Amino acid sequence: MAINRLETQGRKRKKTSNMAALFRALRAGRALRGLGSGLAAPAAKPPCVSLKTGFHRTAFILQDESKSSKHSDQDLTAGTTLKDSISNPDAEESSRPNTSYQDQTDEDGEQYESEEQLQARILGAALEFVPQHGWTIEAIATGAETLGLSSASTGMFYNGAGDLVLHFVAQCNSQLAEILAEQHKQVQLGQAEPKKTADFLRDAVETRLRMHIPYIETWPQAMSILLLPHNIPEALKHLSTLVDDIWYHAGDRSTDMNWYRKRAALTGIFNTTELVMLQDSSPDFQDTWLFLDNRIQDAVNMATSVEQVQSTGEAVVQGLMGAALTLKNLTGMNQRR
């Protein structure tokens, strides 16, 4: 229904209240209609439940019921149903991700999501529009609109584009963790051969970097957003968990300086490969994977050469000690008088 515009000049206040009364009557009529249909198919729009408000809302069950009957035959919105309100306190334990925000005819009815889950869904939807708008608030606004929410909901993201980029990075990391866990299970079941460390690292990094390919055009913008001072701690956290995950699944159980050495090395390899990928124009990023190969080879060689140097060093030291002792014996200085 369009907004009725009233001229401000020459109308009595009584008419204003008449207008409001008319609207009230219309809404009441719709509510009565809605009640009938509302009872049959409870509206399934999942309001966001935060931990705090869950308990508030149970106190206003009647209010919510009237709201839900009002909205049940509207396209995109609905209040909570009576059932929803009662089961609200349980929502914290049993909040399930919603299947469809706009699904009104879902018979399950009691689907909730927390504010965080809704935010995650908005950001997920926004990723589609990144190639078009870049990593910006406009992408988030377009994403929110596809979910049926007003673009004003982007106000929830106080970090703006940073939220979007960090969400994407976190999503990629968890996807990689799943893939690695899956591979590990395969090896456990004996369905696959365990890979050598170098190959494993190479495959893991390649899989992870391939997730950037759909957004490679705008990835420089994303990287620059991650380098903003207020985003750096979060970005470093994601990077460190990524590297830790990869090494853990590669079988690293070291408890000494090696733990730090290995992760530092892999971080270096990952970051440099990411940068190379930005400028790579070969088919299917062949040059990038070649670069990655070489870097991992370097790291492995470095590790072996370090070992060799250590053992050589020890041998040399032992030889020197033996020579010194022989000298002392020869000159007779080794005798106790």
Partner 1 sequence: MAVYLRRLVRRVVRLSPADCGVPAAAFSRLSGRCWTPPSCRRFSQETGEKNTHFGFESVPEEEKAKKVYGVFENVAQKYDIMNDAMSLGIHRLWKDALLHVMHPQPGTRLLDVAGGTGDIALRFLDYVQSQKERQTRRLARTTQSPSWQDISDNYSGQEDGEVVEAECRAVVCDINKEMLKVGKEKADNMGVSAGLSWVVGDAEELPFDDNQFDIYTVAFGIRNVTHIEKALQEALRVLKPGGRFMCLEFSKVTNPVLAKLYDAYSFQVIPVLGEVIAGDWKSYQYLVESIRKFPAQDEFKEMMEDAGFFCVQYHNLTAGVVSLHSGFKL
Task: Measure Cα distances from 313 to 192, 301, 322 in Å.
Answer: 40, 18, 14
**230 contributes a contact to partner 1 by CB under 8 A:** no
Binding track, positions 129-148, relative to partner 1; x by CB under 8 A = --------xx--x--x--xx
**4 contributes a contact to partner 1 by CB under 8 A:** yes
- As a whole number of angstroms, the distance between CA 104 and CA 153 comes to 21
For the stretch 219-250, what's the b/e string if a residue is b when 16 or more beta carbons lie within 10 angstroms of its beta carbon?
bebbbebbeeeebeebbeeebeebbebbbebb
Among 37, 53, 254, 297, binds partner 1 (CB under 8 A): 53
**14 contributes a contact to partner 1 by CB under 8 A:** no
Among 29, 36, 131, 155, binds partner 1 (CB under 8 A): 155
Pair of tokens at residue 55: 């308990």
Binding track, positions 88-127, relative to partner 1; x by CB under 8 A = ---------------------------x--x---------
Provide the 3-class DSSP secondary structure of residue 48.
Answer: strand
**57 contributes a contact to partner 1 by CB under 8 A:** yes
DSSP assignment string, 82-127: HHHHHTGGGHHHH----S-TT----S-----B-HHHHHHHHHHHHH
Provide the 3-class DSSP secondary structure of residue 255.
Answer: coil
Stretch that binds partner 1, among 57-65, 171-179, 185-193, 266-274 (CB under 8 A): 57-65
Applying CB under 8 A, the site for partner 1 has a residue count of: 50
Residue 5 DSSP one-character state: P
Give me the residues that bind partner 1 (CB under 8 A), please: 1, 3-6, 8-9, 11, 13, 16-17, 19-20, 23-24, 27, 45, 47-48, 50, 52-53, 56-57, 60, 62-63, 65-66, 70-71, 74, 76-77, 115, 118, 137-138, 141, 144, 147-156
